[in-house]
């Protein structure tokens, strides 16, 4: 076996890679990275009034209607001006009006519905790891309100927002990060945030 490996560097390298993965406990199977699960999955835990009903607030806002609005008269007019005949089918529009539009299919869960527009994960990042961790917390009786770093993005940064709210948008208006963040704010009341907590945030969303 050893002689065979030594005689073929490619096989030896592959063998070493597999061995290293096994020893380190890592996986060579795709899918380890967090996936986009969709707003309906978020709804399971984030629709209770006692928790702030984040899903209900989102559902009433323009973000939730981002795909639908692309079929409206205003979008069609703007599209015509930009040479876009069907905004609901054009990448130039869908990149910002659909969550994870440019992400590979493997990064989206089986029940992820792109027609729901700018969903929770456009701002908070893919949520499968968060869902898994919170469900495990429920089962163990451990229900921490403080979410560990890296599990999900608690508050989006100005940079995240400006990936779409920028001068490239045909309907762009000067973007005030803190102003619009307050308009869509949906805190968990159990967190006991001070009334002015959003005023104290920097463009990094509270990150150092």
Residue 107 has what pLDDT? 97
Residue 55 has what pLDDT? 98
Q: Give backbone dihedrals phi and psi of 201, rounded to 5 degrees, phi first.
A: -75, 145
Count up the domains in the chain and report the number: 2
This prediction has a pTM of 0.79
The residue-averaged pLDDT of 137-166 equals: 84
- C-alpha distances out from residue 9 to 1, 5, 20, 21, 171, Å: 13, 7, 16, 18, 57
Confirm whether 140 is domain-assigned: yes
Residue 105 has what pLDDT? 96
* Domain around 93: 35-191
Q: With pLDDT > 90 as the criterion, what percentage of the chain qualifies?
A: 67
Confirm whether 83 is domain-assigned: yes
Q: Are residues 20 and 89 in the same domain?
A: no
Across the chain, what does the average pLDDT equal? Answer: 84
Half-sphere exposure of 92 (CA within 13 A, CB side): 13
CA pair distance 89, 98, nearest whole angstrom: 11
Half-sphere exposure of 70 (CA within 13 A, CB side): 24
Strand partners, 36: 108
Instruction: Report the Cα 120 to chain-centroid distance in Å.
Output: 6
Q: Are residues 43 and 9 in the same domain?
A: no
| CATH code where residue 50 lies | 1.10.1130.10
Helices (H), 25-127: 39-43, 54-59, 66-69, 73-81, 91-97, 120-124
Q: Are residues 43 and 146 in the same domain?
A: yes
Q: Are residues 25 and 43 in the same domain?
A: no
Burial 41-62 (b: 16+ CB within 10 A, else e): bbbeebbeeebbbbbeebeeee
Residue 208 has what pLDDT? 47
- Count CB-CB contacts under 10 A for residue 78: 17
Confirm whether 207 is domain-assigned: no
Q: Are residues 69 and 6 in the same domain?
A: no
Strand partners, 108: 36
The residue-averaged pLDDT of 30-39 equals: 81
Q: Is the pLDDT of residue 30 over 80?
A: no
Confirm whether 200 is domain-assigned: no
Judge contact between 57 and 191, C-beta under 8 A.
Answer: no
Q: Are residues 139 and 63 in the same domain?
A: yes
Higher pLDDT, 13 or 204: 204
Instruction: Return the minimum-mean-pLDDT range out of 8-12, 87-91, 146-150.
Output: 8-12
């Amino acid at each position: 076996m050893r002689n065979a490996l030594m005689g073929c560097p490619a096989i030896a390298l592959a063998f070493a890679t597999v061995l290293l993965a096994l020893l380190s406990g890592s996986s060579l199977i795709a899918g380890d990275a967090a996936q986009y699960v969709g707003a309906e999955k978020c709804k399971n835990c984030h629709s209770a009034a006692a928790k702030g009903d984040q899903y209900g607030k989102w559902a009433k806002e323009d973000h939730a209607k981002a795909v639908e609005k692309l079929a409206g008269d205003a979008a069609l007019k703007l599209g015509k001006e930009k040479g876009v005949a069907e905004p609901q089918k054009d990448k130039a529009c869908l990149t910002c009006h659909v969550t994870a539009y440019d992400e590979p299919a493997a990064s989206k869960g089986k029940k992820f519905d792109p027609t729901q527009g700018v969903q929770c994960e456009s701002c908070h990042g893919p949520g499968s790891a968060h869902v898994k961790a919170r469900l495990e917390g429920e089962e163990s009786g451990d229900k921490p309100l403080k979410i560990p770093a890296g599990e999900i993005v608690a508050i989006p940064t100005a940079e995240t927002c400006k990936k779409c709210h920028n001068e490239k948008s045909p309907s762009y208006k000067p973007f005030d990060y803190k102003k619009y963040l307050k308009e869509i704010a949906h805190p968990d009341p159990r967190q006991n945030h001070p009334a002015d907590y959003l005023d104290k945030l920097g463009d990094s969303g509270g990150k150092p």
